[in-house]
Amino acid sequence: MTGVHLVVPAGIDDPGRVSGGNRYDRRICDALRDTGWTVSEIAAPGSWPRPGREALGRLARSLDAVPDGATVLVDGLIASADGEVLVPRAARLRLVVLVHMVFGSDTVAEAEEAAVLTAARAVVTTSEWTRSRLLDRYPLPPGGVTVARPGTDSAAPGPQRTDGGRLLCVGTLSRIKGQDLLVSALADLSGPTWCCRLVGPPDRDPDFSGFLERRIAAVGLGDRVHLAGLRTGADLDAEYRDADLLVVPSRTETFGMVVAEALATGLPVLATAVGGIPEALGSTAAGPPGLLVPAEDEAALSAALRRWLADAALRDRLRRAALLRRETLTDWRATGERIGAVLRAVVAEPDRPHVRGPG
């Protein structure tokens, strides 16, 4: 049996701090254990990716307690901002970095992120789009950067209704997720009856959430657009099954786990063509299981919504494609096996010369 130490942000199981990255980390811990790995979790408190000195010191002490030659998989939210701790320890430990997103220079210094990634034995990304961004930005060997896309759970498909008016948007209420763009696009719609549920925690960005509420009221959509709050587990599954269309108006997205989750229930998707979303959407023999529009284009988003509501043949075609795409989605075990293969290759590498301690 092979062991790995997995460094994750503290609180990944906190229901009040749900995020795609946290859910990915938890499912990977479970999948690695299911495939025979011994996983030792190291929870790293701190405001990552902007940690304070105390958070860096605590993580350094945790890593110094890990035996020489151990394999350590570090969440990129921590790793990209933690060069001063990780780089000196990279010779002693078999370091692998799991990159959910590539940070901009306003969040993490590129030189620090580059130092960590080049010191790692291997890098795992959650989308091909992210992998391409890393290889464009940093001098990493392509063979050392592996894609392990998020998995999905099998889910029963939702009912096939004749109308398409039940719209759903899932994601933390924030500017990045673009709910303000969706509200503006919906304000331009008239004609068929529709409603839209915005599902996601409102407390990560209270200023934006307040703005969104005021915007909904200002455009007269208070009876059609509903802020449903956080939903997880069976409650979130029910939201997907009760909807006719998932709308993802994100300004940026490294993969778009909600896209795959919706498709797992046979739910078509209307999304912005940013980041890894086209990759998550995929295609089928019947065509793509949804519609893509340019980012930050309210007119294009509104036009696509209008088309969806007015065109029954389009709705039927996209629903058929979504049911086909449902059958080709990766499960979490396969994701865990892919990461496990990277870890086994790292374990098989010869030791590097090192000096015990932080360097």
pLDDT in tens, 61-108: 999 999 999 999 999 999 988 888 999 999 999 999 999 988 766 677
Say whether both 134 and 195 belong to one domain: no
Report the pLDDT value the prediction gives residue 292, as an integer from 0 to 100. Answer: 98
For residue range 260-283, list pLDDT tens digits in order. 999 999 999 999 999 999 999 999
Q: What whole-number distance in Å separates Cα of residue 152 and Cα of residue 189?
A: 33
Do 94 and 178 reside in the same domain of the chain?
no
311 in the same domain as 179 = yes
- In terms of domains, do 95 and 26 share one? yes
What DSSP designation does 165 have?
-
Residue 159 confidence (pLDDT) above 90: no
CA distance 194 to 310: 11
Residues 102 and 181 in one domain: no
Same domain, 218 and 344: no
- Written as six digits, the tokens of 224 are 């059609």
Number of neighbouring beta carbons within 10 Å of residue 10:
15
Q: What is the pLDDT of residues 111-152, one digit of tens each?
A: 889 999 999 999 999 999 999 999 999 999 999 999 999 999
Domain extent at residue 35: 2-151+332-348
Token look-up 């220079």 returns 105
CATH number at residue 109: 3.40.50.2000
Residues 329-352: tens digit of each pLDDT: 999 999 999 999 999 999 998 876
Q: Are residues 132 and 218 in the same domain?
A: no
Q: Which of 96, 149, 91, 139 is nearest to 121 (CA)?
A: 96
Say which DSSP state 8 is in.
E
CA 179 to chain centre: 17
Q: What is the mean pLDDT of residues 1-17?
A: 85
Alpha carbon distance 328, 202 (integer Å):
33
Q: How many domains does the chain have?
A: 2
Instruction: Output the average pLDDT for the chain.
Output: 92
Partners of 331 in the beta sheet?
A: 152
Nearest to 325 by CA among 273, 274, 278, 281: 281
Cis peptide bond upstream of 294, omega within 30? no
The predicted model gives 296-315 an average pLDDT of 96
Q: In this structure, which amino acid lies at residue 110?
A: E
Residue 355: pLDDT above 50?
Answer: no
Classify residue 356: in a domain, yes or no: no
Q: Which of 261, 216, 259 lies closest to 235, judged by CA? A: 261
> Do 261 and 136 have their domain in common?
no
What's the Cα-to-Cα distance from 169 to each of 14, 27, 262, rounded to whole Å? 22, 23, 10
Look up residue 232 and give its two tokens.
Answer: 């997880």
Can you state the angle between helices 298-310 and 312-326, rounded to 10 degrees?
A: 100
Question: Backbone phi, then psi, for 131, in 5-degree steps?
Answer: -60, -45
193 and 251 part of one domain: yes
